[in-house]
Amino acid sequence: MRDGGAFARARLVAAATVRLRSLWCWWSSRSTATRDGELALVFTLLSFAAPLSQVAPQFGDLPTRPASVASVLLTLGMTLPMAVRTRWPAACLALAGTSFAVYACLGCPPSFGSLGLYIALYSAGAHQNRLRRVVAAVATAGYLVFAIALHELGSPAGLTDYLLFYIVLGVAFGLGAMVRGRKAREAERRYLFAQAAIAAERSRLARELHDVVTHHVTAMVVQSGAAQYLTESPESVTEALGAINGTGRRALAELRFLLGVLEATGESAPSDLTPMPGRVPDLVEQIRTAGQPIELVEDGEQEDMAIGAQLTAYRVVQESLTNAVKYAAGRRTLVRLAHTPDWTDVEVTTAGTPGGAPASSALRDGGPDVSGGRGLAGLRERVEMLGGEFTAGPGPDGGFHVHARIPAGGTA
């Protein structure tokens, strides 16, 4: 029976907790003005409940007079201003403070509504946006007038009592100021986080635009340049123009996606802002039609590779081949993909000239006249954001070697 009673009490506590949470969620979902109005109404009703007068704050110790119309009106003056405590906290404090001072000086009976002064002070500290120091100075001056009036009316309170009461009132104001400061810091943190996210997204889109424009435009320039030497072979010209057309269409498709991301707002924004990467074999074939001798070797197959990792691997190959076409045209290029359950290794090696003349300087810089510094440096940033490794440098034969190890689950 004892265990049954404990279990029943536990169920009651759990049910009460659920109801309190539901009530709090309902209360929080209402507008600020509505909540303030309801708070003022509740405090007003409780102020006229006789048992609660025992917990009412008192100060001055003047002879107590019986309740009157004046005491009722002054009680309303301490509770009803709470309806505007968030919108006009200074006005709320002025009305509640003045009513409290007159209430105490008249020796009215204790009232639960006197707590309205503390709520008004807290609200002024938490919600007053302008002239905060002026409000605090005026409130302090008002308290001095209140203390002098009590002393002249014969209050037995001494200097220590006035100081202690002032400290209590200051604590109420200070608590509101602390809450305001915490909310301001939280708002600043959210703002800085949002700005960082915007900057990161801009950087990501800039990298995507660089990769799309540089690669496709370079391919189209090379393909069109080669087409002018094929006038004697109509079939070759048709094939070259078809390759240029396909390259342009792929560029337009990727640019449309990026423009959609830039224009998307709110509910129209796509849930996944990472474009689906193309296939490396198609990319190799596209560059191969431009006249660059490329060999593709792929070991294994990564079936569970994240979209971000796939896109990064694709961009590494794309940027490397674009640089090879621009600065090592006609030289043999080897693309190797090695897949493991945890990693994908991407290697792009461009051979040097037979005499060993290096083309590594232009390749290493990613073409400073075109890339604006976003070439290989951008690839390094991409790979390292995923937790991978990236190296690029000249080979022993004067060529250039790019290697990226990309984690299969990378989703940065």
Chain centroid offset of residue 292 CA: 45
Sign of CA dihedral 121, 124, 127, 132: negative
Chain centroid offset of residue 190 CA: 5
Q: Are 352 and 398 in contact, with CB atoms under 8 Å apart?
A: yes
**pLDDT greater than 90 at residue 95:** yes
Q: Output the pTM of the full model.
A: 0.53
| H or E element in which residue 236 lies | helix 234-263
Q: Which CATH class for the 192-407 domain?
A: alpha beta
Percent of the chain at pLDDT exceeding 70: 71
| Dist CA 115 CA 290 (whole Å) | 83
| Dist CA 310 CA 234 (whole Å) | 38
More confident residue, 157 or 235: 157
For 311-350, the pLDDT digits (tens) are 888 888 888 888 887 778 778 899 999 888 888 899 999 8
| In the chain, domain spans | 30-157, 192-407
Model confidence band, residue 154 (pLDDT cutoffs 50, 70, 90):
confident
Q: What angle do CA 183, 188, 191 make, to 5 degrees?
A: 125
Model confidence band, residue 386 (pLDDT cutoffs 50, 70, 90):
confident
Question: Which residues contact residue 103 at a Cβ distance below 8 angstroms, ignoring those fewer than 6 apart?
Answer: 71, 74, 75, 78, 111, 114
